[in-house]
Amino acid sequence: MKIQILLASALLISGCSSEWNGLEAVKVSNLGPAGYPAIGDTKANSPKSENPNSNEKTLKEDTYVIQPGDTLSIKFFFNPELNEENLIVRPDGRISLQLIHEVTAANLTAPQLTALLAEKYMGQLKNPEIAVIVRSVREPYRIYVDGQVTSPGQFEIVGSLSVLQAIALAHGMKEDTAQKDEVVVIRRNQDGHPFVIKINLKDALTGKDLSQDIQLLPYDFVYIPRSFW
């Protein structure tokens, strides 16, 4: 159902990109840290990105980038009463811990999260010796790339993936027909309703504005429209 929503939205956009067909259009500058609108409905900042059909697998590499849906264990060597087992990273990328409450775990490696927690607990504990263990991860989420690319299709997210990296997986944009300054990413909010992120990849490619090359989230749909000039 999610895929059908995104595909339908992409078709509407490709037919009439100037009107956006009633979808909320958001600029990159208006995105919050989690990748959702920083203004308007606060629910948009905590979307549901679950993948109920995915299987979990054991992870043994410290270089893995933690993602929503992963299962963590947090161990406190001198304060075992604070230990957390089977702590699942929420769809918004956060985890809840005693004393310090909300912490963003997504997009960090286990060593990076360990260092962050040690810093946050410095004012709460005398000797915050902490270990973060990634117990299991979900099968990679997918994103979709369509429009003026050489090989449209779906691709897996392993760790983090930006728009330009996703386009590279699709073997690049068609130089003669791709409208690089009007690329869109279709993303779902908490209620499952799609909204559009307007991206100027020309600025990212020339180095003028690298922030346009945003990080993708599970089930994002990247669409490169056709240039008629």
pLDDT one-digit tens code per residue, 157-201: 766 789 999 999 999 999 899 999 999 999 987 566 789 999 999
CB 157 within 8 A of CB 166: no
pLDDT given for residue 190 in this prediction: 56
pLDDT given for residue 20 in this prediction: 54
Instruction: Walk along the chain (229 residues) in steps of 10 and give the mean pLDDT of each run.
Output: 46 46 80 71 41 40 78 95 93 92 91 94 91 85 93 85 94 94 86 85 94 90 89
Q: How far apart are CA 8 and CA 13, in angstroms?
A: 9
| Domains of the chain, each with CATH number or no CATH | 2-50+140-224 (3.10.560.10), 56-138 (3.30.1950.10)
pLDDT given for residue 60 in this prediction: 43
Q: Which amino acid is at 137?
A: V
Strand 194-199's sheet: what is its strand order?
25-27, 194-199, 183-188, 221-224, 141-147, 153-157
pLDDT given for residue 165 in this prediction: 95
pLDDT given for residue 166 in this prediction: 95
